[in-house]
Structure 1
């Protein structure tokens, strides 16, 4: 935070003090998850800032003290990974390793939210052991996903059996999804992107009931918990990072409606009773909703999100301020204070509020105008996206403008590389992005800029060697009407039941053209070769599902391209573009019905390690940037890719 504020003197003082006084030779048992995202992540981020002269924060006389501390800490955490599944124990003693009576059960977030910090430690020290164990932990969790592609909340690290089979995007799971995408963005590892796309598709198919997300049984998709918990509020920010802005806006609107009702978001809000969930009445100064607000403002420049930030700031200042800082709110209805303030309040809550308003005032800070593009860790630490950290030199970054006008398809002419278009209006906050990408060492080559004009209206998920047909498809999709235009005249909902999906549907003809064009955009002329490594790490049935050119397979009849979701009853007449219309789950159970196939305790345990105070993924990197690779997306069982970044960013309901 000191570096973001530009306070070089205090930043230097803090780095110097840590280098002289911090050590880990202590007989102390710590959470692997919490220690990694808070301490290890903070040391690595501090080192990268203190050692980089281009950031303006370089510390004179700095001799990599923070990196040495990070490596020492990382090695003390390594014994936790000595399990049959590769998924680490939840806790480890810094002096003696794993205790004999240590629990064999850990949370999905606890085992799957280590990749950024451990991967970065390997890149900076040259020792691959840290990245290897963290990636194996993710593979261990991924291997135990259900046939629906869902993961549970808690797992036995020895047997690989799920001890808590409720799937969701909140408590105990949240940052697992966050780090799948961010590990790809930071390192360029295709395996993480593959897992994120598959996981995201399953979440949007089985958990999403626009605009809310249920907790369901991971094997049957039976709804077990109609609950909004505060950790879910990170999700819209992650969707922005993935290019899926429309549903992010609707979900954020619903989540903020809960905030407005109480002045805070309680740990649990029951969607069936539309009231605070008993036992989950507190607000421990969490940052998730604020982070998503910041991300949405970066993506849209909509002043509405500044008003949201103003309301959140007012609530915290009026009701949480106490003599020595800011206190937890013990009950969002009585607003009684508790004498406690988590470290994430300063690391994330205050940071994202400051970034939001500073961006509106011109964005003169390290994140917006600095020499690098940054990924925010789940604890809000800054990790720069540089070629030294990425896996390979051909790693591509393409800026993303989601609301701009684009040239009409008729302007495209032939595939002459000399073709240029008039620059459309670009929001102020993106003006310096192109030059910053080029300065970062990645560059926007001819495949990503001149040939397809992506410098002015890039499309998420595609970049290299766009054919003329794909360009036509891209610009057609970009010109389709947006959901927000349909909702522009709608007022604020008066009841939570009114916050639901937009009912506007496209015509059969438009939908056919749209699906056809999406298939064009996401097709290569030549098949992608799956590496031996990929075959060894990915399920064979999915590794073989390489997308082929659907153009030659589609018939003139729209019925030939019917979209049917896995395990979901759907007919051509009832399928709504991009919207999960499941009125019933896979077992025929209504969404608000408690599951009969619960794994046991359906209560959300808010005392587990990631609920205890660590933010499910602080989701943020340059939202205006999408890392793009020449990757062919795998088909789902019906040959239609549900997760399509282009489709998502231009979704028609």
Structure 2
């Protein structure tokens, strides 16, 4: 807000005031971050050769009959997500900043190793100090890290990374198939997020390049995208056989909306928004006709445009970001389309009833875990699969966002218990790190649940494959529990890996920003310390195979996906930063943690 005090613009502050005034008048292209570097204005950001760019010039075989415009009603005022009026002691601030520096130190070490050993490759192999390409060979780690570099004020590294990123050629790849979803969230989202924090228009130009490429995946008879795309056939202009898939993961077709819409907003070209809004329309129309009304089954038939056939309903892997993007699209568009709030509220109500469960725990902790639901007999019977996933920890943060924006206190209450559930899963494991998946015994209701140790042991034995658990002796049950490395409260750990995932700290961060609870900072530091202890390598940080065995150092897997630098360390850094840095009332994160500016009144 412009100060109304007299003589506010002193000579010492003249340059800053002029810059602020121009920004408020709409000249938001102006940047003083890099003196001497010429940044294009909003009026001429487009590359003069843009129309001749390969993917732009490639003929469209199935053009849309019409293109709907972006909404123009104007953004509405949502209630704030972030808590206000919080006070912090000098001692607490000093500790928080110390922890932030520790996070940045790890990021800096990992980035330096990537730069030295894997520059312009998709990933660094953190144990062997080599590189690998897993996402098209288009420098996934570099692009995913651009906005993190800016947020951490690593300006020289950012400038070097941008200079390298703009050389990426999206007409060349050794991959036979492109995952359109992963390419959208990592590359398109990465360029857009970096642009939205830095206002470096070279990044917007690069976002348009990859947007033009991804748009050709929608060049099918029904304008539904091919999610696993033969890019070489497309480059040969052999798209006469491009047909959307009959078995498409719901996340891969339903989670393109944020990035495509933001690209349309920034460029003024509605074609990307139009493309993804057609998917939203179909999903909205069929949302209440599934066997679990409110949620969509795991697999859709994009060829026949069927989004309501199937019996498996999860909030986790292969479906997660569909639900994540509902309230976030409302935020991104400033609430101009009611459909996203309606879809979110329907999904949240169903999920709370059928997917969330309270696990039986020795201390009777009042927490929630998000499981999976399976329907039988045409939806007349619903069965809960009481499995937790590290990936689904995102859902707590999501419900904080939706609950705050839409005045749904029941969602915020459930979200708090979900976040506490993920913190519990970290604290309860021998190395202080949550595994990829686990099972627990669900309480009869979410309201109360007495611990029954005998029942817990029998459930562990049953999950271990024992047929007649009632005949097992106490000694036999105890041996099974020991052999399976199952802490109390867990009944099985089907996948004991930790792959540097961000979802738990993501939701802890969001809940902290919404409440200011200091204990969440303590939990975040415990999580970070545990992760650093077992993942640190000579070069960077590595995923590990098994976090369930006490007294045994987890074996590292020589893998560091781009989301370690693009998401996990970013969320750790932000939770220990001042809340004004990437405020949730100004930005919304895509599912790869790239901050996109919200439309606000």
TM-score normalised to structure 1 length: 0.53
Cα distance in 1 for partners of 2:318, 2:170 equals 29
Cα distance in 2 for partners of 1:181, 1:37 equals 17
Superposed displacement of residue 140, structure 1: 2.6
- Helix, strand or coil at the partner of 1:20: coil
- Helix, strand or coil at the partner of 1:123: helix
Give matches, 1:176-255, under 5 Å. Answer: 176-187=322-333, 188=335, 189-210=337-358, 211-217=368-374, 219-220=379-380, 222-242=382-402, 243=404, 244-255=411-422
Give matches, 1:496-645, under 5 Å. Answer: none
Using a 3 Å threshold, how does the CA distance of structure 1 residues 193 and 86 change in structure 2: closer, same or farther?
farther
Cα distance in 1 for partners of 2:351, 2:222 equals 24
List alignment gaps of at least 5 residues for structure 1: 52-58, 388-441, 443-653
Are 2:94 and 1:94 aligned? no
Report how many residues are paired: 371
Cα distance in 1 for partners of 2:182, 2:523 equals 29
Contact 1:231–1:288 under 8 Å retained in 2: yes
Of 182, 185, 191, which aligns to 1:43? 191
- Helix, strand or coil at the partner of 1:217: strand
Are 2:263 and 1:121 aligned? yes
Aligned to 1:618: none
Contact 1:24–1:73 under 8 Å retained in 2: no
- Helix, strand or coil at the partner of 1:324: coil
Superposed displacement of residue 231, structure 1: 1.2
Cα distance in 2 for partners of 1:131, 1:221 equals 38
Of 151, 162, 165, which aligns to 1:4? 151
Are 2:317 and 1:317 aligned? no
Cα distance in 2 for partners of 1:84, 1:194 equals 29
List alignment gaps of at least 5 residues for structure 2: 1-147, 359-367, 405-410, 442-459, 461-488
Give matches, 1:306-455, under 5 Å. Answer: 306-334=521-549, 335-359=554-578, 363=579, 365=581, 367-368=582-583, 373-386=586-599, 442=601
- CA deviations on 1:327-386 (whole Å, 9 max, x unpaired) are 111111242211101101111110111111123xxx463x149xx811111101111124
Contact 2:219–2:242 under 8 Å retained in 1: no
Aligned to 1:536: none
Contact 2:500–2:568 under 8 Å retained in 1: yes
Aligned to 2:166: 19
- CA deviations on 1:278-324 (whole Å, 9 max, x unpaired) are 64221111111101111111111111101111111111111111112
Aligned to 2:303: 158
Superposed displacement of residue 166, structure 1: 1.1
TM-score normalised to structure 2 length: 0.58
Of 246, 252, 258, which aligns to 1:104? 246
Aligned to 2:213: 76
- CA deviations on 1:184-204 (whole Å, 9 max, x unpaired) are 111122221121112212212
Aligned to 1:463: none
Cα distance in 1 for partners of 2:220, 2:380 equals 29
Cα distance in 2 for partners of 1:216, 1:386 equals 35
- CA deviations on 1:568-617 (whole Å, 9 max, x unpaired) are xxxxxxxxxxxxxxxxxxxxxxxxxxxxxxxxxxxxxxxxxxxxxxxxxx
Using a 3 Å threshold, how does the CA distance of structure 1 residues 381 and 221 change in structure 2: closer, same or farther?
farther
- Helix, strand or coil at the partner of 2:588: strand
Superposed displacement of residue 81, structure 1: 2.8
Aligned to 1:531: none
Contact 1:122–1:131 under 8 Å retained in 2: yes
- CA deviations on 1:240-282 (whole Å, 9 max, x unpaired) are 1122322222222222211112222212111134547564221
- Helix, strand or coil at the partner of 2:229: strand
Contact 1:180–1:195 under 8 Å retained in 2: yes
Give matches, 1:264-275, under 5 Å. Answer: 264-272=433-441, 273=460, 274-275=489-490
- CA deviations on 1:125-146 (whole Å, 9 max, x unpaired) are 2221111111112233333431
Using a 3 Å threshold, how does the CA distance of structure 1 residues 293 and 374 change in structure 2: closer, same or farther?
same
Using a 3 Å threshold, how does the CA distance of structure 1 residues 137 and 27 change in structure 2: closer, same or farther?
farther
Cα distance in 2 for partners of 1:162, 1:338 equals 38
Aligned to 1:149: 294
- CA deviations on 1:107-156 (whole Å, 9 max, x unpaired) are 11111111110001111222211111111122333334316222111122
After superposition, the CA RMSD in angstroms is 2.5
Using a 3 Å threshold, how does the CA distance of structure 1 residues 132 and 374 change in structure 2: closer, same or farther?
same
Cα distance in 2 for partners of 1:100, 1:364 equals 46
Using a 3 Å threshold, how does the CA distance of structure 1 residues 24 and 70 change in structure 2: closer, same or farther?
farther
Superposed displacement of residue 26, structure 1: 3.9
Cα distance in 2 for partners of 1:102, 1:198 equals 27
